[in-house]
A and B are shown apart, each in its own frame.
Chain A
Amino acid sequence: MALDDRKSEFNFVGTRPDRPDGLDKVTGRARFGADAYAPGMLYGAILRSPHAHARIVKIDASKAEALKDVKAVVTRADFADVPFKPGLEGEFWSVLENVMAGEKALYDGHAVAAVAATSALAARDALKLIEVEYEVLPHVTDVDKAMAPDAPVIREGAADYSVPEGMHPNVVRYHESGHGDVEAGFAEADLILEDSFVTEATHQGYIEPHACLGSLGSDGKGELWCCTQGHWYAQKYCATLLGIETAQLRVTASEIGGGFGGKTTVFIEPVALALSRKANRPVKIVMSRSEVFRATGPTSSASMDIKIGMKKDGTITAAEGIFRLQGGAFPGAPGDMTAMCAFAPYNLTNVRQVGYDVLANRPKQAAYRAPGAPMGAFAVESVLDELCKKLGLDPVDVRLKNAAHEGTKASYGPTYERIGLVETLEAAKAHPHYSAPLKPGQGRGISCGFWFNHGGETSVSLALSEDGSAQVMVGTPDIGGSRASMALMAAEVLGIPYENIRVTVADTATLGYNDVSHGSRVTYASGLATIKAARNAVERLCERAAAKWGIPVDAVKWENGCAVPSGPNAGDFDPMPLADITADMGATGGPISGHFEATPEGAGVSFGTHIVDAEVDPETGKTAITRYTVIQDAGKAIHPTYVEGQYQGGAAQGIGWALNEEYIYGEDGRLQNSIFLDYRIPVASDLPMIDTVIVEVPNPGHPFGVRGVGETGIVPPLAAIANAVSNAAGVRMKRLPMSPPRILAALKDNG
């Protein structure tokens, strides 16, 4: 399905070599967050609020501090005061407040104190001796209830400039965008459908809990080892929250057992450092699974209203969406992103979208692949499916008829550059899956999805060795196989084998600043940086060859790993391989390296189309996904196996989100299902083979055409699965997850 006519130019890019971290991962040699130890190390544990909303009247830790095994206790008083340094308010304040509660506990599981002791058991026992006096306050966990006039106010004055007058103080941000005249558009429609949808919060479900080992001395110098998607971010936030200079804290990222956006912030890391500073010994903290669920960053939950008008021929005349997202007790729910992405796949004359960011007594939401986009797609694509059904139209044809393409004015404003949505829809229509017969009781659903993708600050350093091998230092933790992709891109430029290149995720002391591994940015931005760093090294190699040959440097070019004369007039010299140049580089000018530091700004947006078959058991309400096909534009797949893995992972996580996963809160505001037994993520036996099709419409903003692929894959599944289940069950499912009790209730309501 390669639509990239440049494919033949690549020697390494597009191949599928073994992953460089494979042996480490299968033998247990890879070191994850909890695998670090230090002499004299203490173990930290965190006391968490049992209340969803409570004023902290008093904390008495004297009994815990009296234990001989306890070496330090910290509370909010042990962190830096706000306001911070100039410009460090806002999100820094929210992160501090989330890391350790101040005046109020804002959700069940909110940290209120922490202990460091000589063993993990002693630390946990000591927590029981800390006496906290709470004044329990009214709470709210549901997004619609949090916006109602009688909802308890979670934080007065948290709303920003954007919120219209008269809204509840829990509404903290408002977004409105679109173009055209939706009322005029609806007047042109032959059929208008309007409906409401709800999704619950879910967790990324990464298998590795958060873990870290921190050491901070009274001299303000520290070391931190942690499981993170971005160690420069951890460095910046920890330094700020502890009131030390950023450069004095060296942070090393461990191997990472999944993140998906959930490890783009800090939770336990500043606590370990605060405990270490007080105890004057290294402190290790490892979260339990229950802590991960209660006190890290799940997705927002959402309540949405959609209205779409369509002509009999399938043309969409107008579309409108209201998206209300709660993101916990802090500003940041991506209602704006939901709104901007929801209608982005379509070429619309009249569109209006509104997003709300609402506070509730839940943990601070974090990103989960394409944050905000999946829920919006669920609502919009469900209404589109219903319109197709009522008008007797083919759902792929209708999407093709309305699909955005190069030159379309996006629903969020600008005009699209070259994009690949139409190609994914054409591939869906041509795929055998789309025309395969369904058995009785089965239904088929399709959905499109969109995500922006991101560039971000990026530094890469590439150093050549005397034997002609190369080491590449990147600053983006490898969450999706990026070491293999970087090695392939470096091999492509240098012309040396993939196996001769070692890619290392450098620590904060050995490389320039790097943005987090998020926004599907790593293969795009670190990849672009690796290519440019390698080209930088190639320039040095050509200079050395030119000097050896005694010809001008512009008479030398680089070809297949060798310096060669650029033309017949440059002289008659045999190709000079890279290793011949590096062998004596110390004596011909010194070490040869290449560097790149910049913020690439050409990530290129991405689209996908998913096809799903589902079978619903009308007696139990249980759904089985019987067939799944992911089609997505990768721009250029550097290592196709990893790209397919990203596609399959998005589908697998989407199946969990659509069918089973949800945060369940009791009337008391406490999370009811904080372990994997009660919060059920899909396992292998729940999943069919997930077929993949890589479409390649090159991104003009990347030297090899790469578009990020990490996030778009989570956007269509909720909608595609909901459409399949609704078609199988014969009733429109408007609430996620579509768990067996909800399906049974819907079947019953439908008679």
Chain B
Amino acid sequence: MVEVHLWSGLRSLTGGQQVVEVQATTTGELLRELVRAHPQLQAPIDAGVSIAIDGRVIASGLTEPIPEGSEIYLMQRLRGG
């Protein structure tokens, strides 16, 4: 199991939870499991999210491995100029 830290604006979609535990070994699996646990997270995920694994920001990749015990943060998708 990995703990996924959400940004606080998402608490209204998870019944107040800011940390959600899911079973996932890749970033894509993690997003699927998040939606399974909290279907209302589909909207922010569709709007675009990035995932930080131990501080490394994965902008969009769904195949990045998630090591056991790693620190996971869901972030809004980054944009640049």
Q: Which residues from chain A sit less than 8 Å from chain B, CB to CB?
A: 160-162, 164, 174-178, 260-262, 264, 334, 336-337, 340, 352, 366-371, 410, 412-417, 451-456, 518-521, 599, 601-603, 605, 701, 711
Q: Check A175–B76 contact: CB distance below 8 A.
A: yes
Interface contact A711-B59, CB-CB below 8 Å:
no
B81-A175 in contact (CB<8A): no
Q: Do residues B81 and A368 form an inter-chain contact, with CB atoms below 8 A?
A: yes
List 6 tightest A-B contacts by C-beta distance, closest first: A261-B81, A519-B80, A367-B81, A414-B52, A176-B9, A161-B43
- Tell me if B44 is interfacial: C-beta within 8 Å of chain A: yes
Chain B, Cβ-Cβ closest to A177: B7
**Interface residue from B7, B9, B78 paired with A519 (Cβ < 8 Å):** B78
- B22: Cβ under 8 A from any A Cβ: no
Nearest CB in chain B: distance from A188 CB, A = 21
24 A-B contacts (beta carbon < 8 Å): A161-B40, A161-B44, A162-B44, A174-B9, A178-B8, A370-B81, A413-B5, A414-B55, A414-B57, A414-B71, A415-B54, A417-B54, A451-B80, A452-B57, A453-B80, A454-B59, A454-B80, A455-B59, A518-B81, A521-B80, A599-B59, A599-B60, A599-B61, A601-B56
Contacts of B12 in A (CB 8 A): 164
A599 to B59, CA, bound (A): 9
Interchain CB contact under 8 A, A601 and B78: no
Q: Which residues of B contact A410 (CB under 8 A)?
A: 55
Chain A residues closer than 8 Å to B55, beta-carbon distance: 410, 414-417
Q: Which of B5, B54, B61, B75 is within 8 Å of A601, CB to CB?
A: B61
Q: Which residues of B contact A262 (CB under 8 A)?
A: 81
- In the bound complex, CA of A547 to CA of B19 (Å): 57
Closest CB in chain B relative to A205 CB, distance in Å: 13
Cα of A602 to Cα of B18 in the assembled complex, Å: 26
Please tell me if the beta carbons of B43 and A711 are within 8 angstroms of each other in the complex.
Answer: no
Q: Total A-B pairs in contact (CB under 8 Å)?
A: 102
Q: Is the CB of B79 within 8 A of A337?
A: yes
Minimal Cβ-Cβ distance residue in B for A332: B79
Per-residue 0/1 for B63-76: is the Cβ within 8 Å of any A Cβ (1 yes, 0 no)?
Answer: 01000000101011
In the complex, what distance in Å separates the CA atom of A603 from the CA atom of B61? 13
In the complex, what distance in Å separates the CA atom of A737 from the CA atom of B13?
Answer: 39
Give the residues in chain A near B73, CB-CB below 8 Å: 412-414
**Which of A162, A601, A605 lies in contact with B9, CB distance below 8 A?**
A162
Q: Do A417 and B81 have beta carbons less than 8 Å apart? A: no
**In the complex the two chains form, is A415's CB within 8 Å of B71's CB?**
yes
Q: Is the CB of A340 within 8 A of B81?
A: no
- Is the pair B79, A175 in contact by a Cβ cutoff of 8 Å? no
Contact residues of B: prevailing secondary structure: mixed
17 more CB-based (< 8 A) A-B contacts, given A176-B8, A410-B55, A599-B59: A161-B40, A161-B44, A177-B8, A261-B80, A261-B81, A264-B81, A334-B79, A371-B79, A413-B73, A413-B75, A414-B52, A415-B55, A452-B78, A455-B59, A519-B81, A605-B57, A711-B81
Instruction: Determine the residue in chain B with the shortest Cβ distance to A370.
Output: B81
What is the CA–CA distance of A452 and B73 in the complex, to the nearest angstrom? Answer: 15
**Residue from B8, B13, B54, B57 having most chain A Cβ neighbours under 10 A:** B57
Name A175's contact: one of B7, B13, B60 (CB within 8 Å): B7
Determine if B43 and A160 form an interchain contact, defined as CB atoms under 8 angstroms apart: yes
Residues from chain B with a CB closer than 8 A to the CB of A599 are 59-61
Q: How many Å lie between the Cα of A583 and that of B7 in the bound state?
A: 58
Q: Which residue of B lies closest to A372 (CB)?
A: B79
Question: Distance in Å from the Cβ of B26 to the closest Cβ of chain A?
Answer: 12
Residues from chain B with Cβ under 8 Å of A414 in the complex: 52, 54-55, 57, 71, 73, 75
Residue of B nearest to A605 (CB): B57
B10's nearest neighbour on chain A, judged by CB, is A162
Question: Contact: B75 with A340, CB < 8 Å?
Answer: yes
For residue A369, which residues in chain B have a CB less than 8 angstroms away from its CB?
81
A456 adjacent to B59 (CB under 8 Å): yes
**Distance, CA A340 to CA B9, complexed state (A):** 12
Among residues of B, the one whose C-beta sits closest to the C-beta of A299 is B81
Q: In the complex, what residue of chain A is closest to B52 when comparing beta carbons?
A: A414
Contact of A336 with B61 in the complex, beta carbons under 8 Å? no
A63 vs B59: C-alpha distance when bound (angstroms): 51
From A204, which residue of chain B is reached at the shortest CB distance?
B81
Q: Which of A454, A521, A601 has the largest count of B CB atoms less than 10 A from its CB?
A: A601
| Interchain CB contact (< 8 A) of A176 among B7, B44, B56, B59 | B7
Task: Name B1-25 residues within 8 Å CB distance of A.
Answer: 5, 7-9, 12-13
Q: Would you call B56 and A417 a contact (CB within 8 A)?
A: yes
Residue numbers in A under 8 Å from B52 (CB-CB): 413-414
User: Given the complex of chains A and B, what is the CA–CA distance between A645 and B54 in angstroms?
Assistant: 33
Instruction: Give the distance in Å from the alpha carbon of A369 to the alpha carbon of B79 in the complex.
Output: 10
B80 and A518 contact, CB distance less than 8 A: yes
A126 CB, nearest partner CB in chain B, Å: 35
B78 pairs with A260, CB closer than 8 A: no
